[in-house]
Copies of this chain bind each other. A is one copy, B any other.
Amino acid sequence: MRKNSLIPRVNANCATCSLRELCLPLGLNEHEIILLDKLVSHKCKIQRGEFLHRAGLRFQSLYAIRRGFFKTCILEKDGRQQVTGFYMTGELLGLDAISTETYNCDTVALEDSEVCEVPFAKLEEMSRNIPTLMHHFHKIMSREIVKDHGVMMLLGSMRAEERLAAFLLNLSRRFVKRGYSASDFILRMTREEIGSYLGLKFETVSRAFSRLQDENIISVNNKHVSIHDMDRLRSKVGNS
């Protein structure tokens, strides 16, 4: 977290958090959750457009998203920017920073958000005594790797429309897990950010949206997306 302590903090509380089955505490018993609660002592609010942290800052903590939506991106020296991920509630930010002890990417809130700070050294210390916690943490890291391999597949071998279809299906699945509609949601990111993530220019993203709409598979109204035909959307992926 930035030194700038204008960012408000309040107590976190895993035991009563509705996200606990999506988040770090998965599988812990009552007693263990109380221990974890001591570790995750601070929540902090990040306004839309603000940085949780910038690349280069020294790594201390992971952040679990309690509310809101983030993007992470890396910046090449020549100015090119690549969005490396979009993160929603219950997901962990900062896993890439463990290796270098420095955050490797800029992390920006795409809507008003709130994160729980997880001091990493303490997490490691605690996980020595809570094998379930350790194991689940390993699964979370491994899942990140699997996710990235999926994106590599997408970037390496899919065409524009396929990429967008895969992207929408991925968002949909994650919304469902959180109790939201599978077929009706608001995009938090711009066409340009989607394009960066999918390896496309924003005009191409826009055209791909329009084409899916013309085929009556989805409808798009600016940031509002409705999926009308989930099966045909699915068949767009991996059929080319």
Interface set of A (CB-CB < 8 Å, partner B): 74, 76-78, 80, 82, 84, 95-100, 104-105, 124-125, 127-129, 131, 134-135, 138-146, 148-149, 151-153, 155-157, 196-199, 238-240
Contacts and interface: CB of A to CB of B under 8 A. Distances in A.
B97 A142 contact: yes
Contacts of A100: 142, 146
B96 A153 contact: no
A153 B76 contact: yes
Given A74-B149, A76-B238, A144-B145, A157 B82 contact: yes
Contacts of A127: 134
Given A76-B238, A128-B131, A131-B124, A96 B157 contact: no
Nearest to A101: B139
Taken together, the copies of this chain in the complex come to 2
Contacts of A157: 76, 80, 82, 196, 199
Contacts of A152: 82, 84, 148, 151-152, 155
Nearest to A151: B152
A148 B141 CA distance: 13
Nearest to A121: B135
Contacts of A124: 131, 134-135, 138
A24 to B, nearest CB: 14
A148 B52 CA distance: 22
14 contacts: A78-B239, A80-B157, A98-B138, A98-B141, A99-B140, A99-B145, A104-B146, A105-B149, A124-B138, A125-B131, A128-B134, A144-B145, A151-B152, A155-B199
Given A82-B156, A124-B134, A128-B134, 10 more contacts: A78-B239, A78-B240, A80-B157, A82-B152, A82-B153, A84-B152, A84-B153, A148-B151, A155-B156, A156-B196
A139 B98 contact: yes
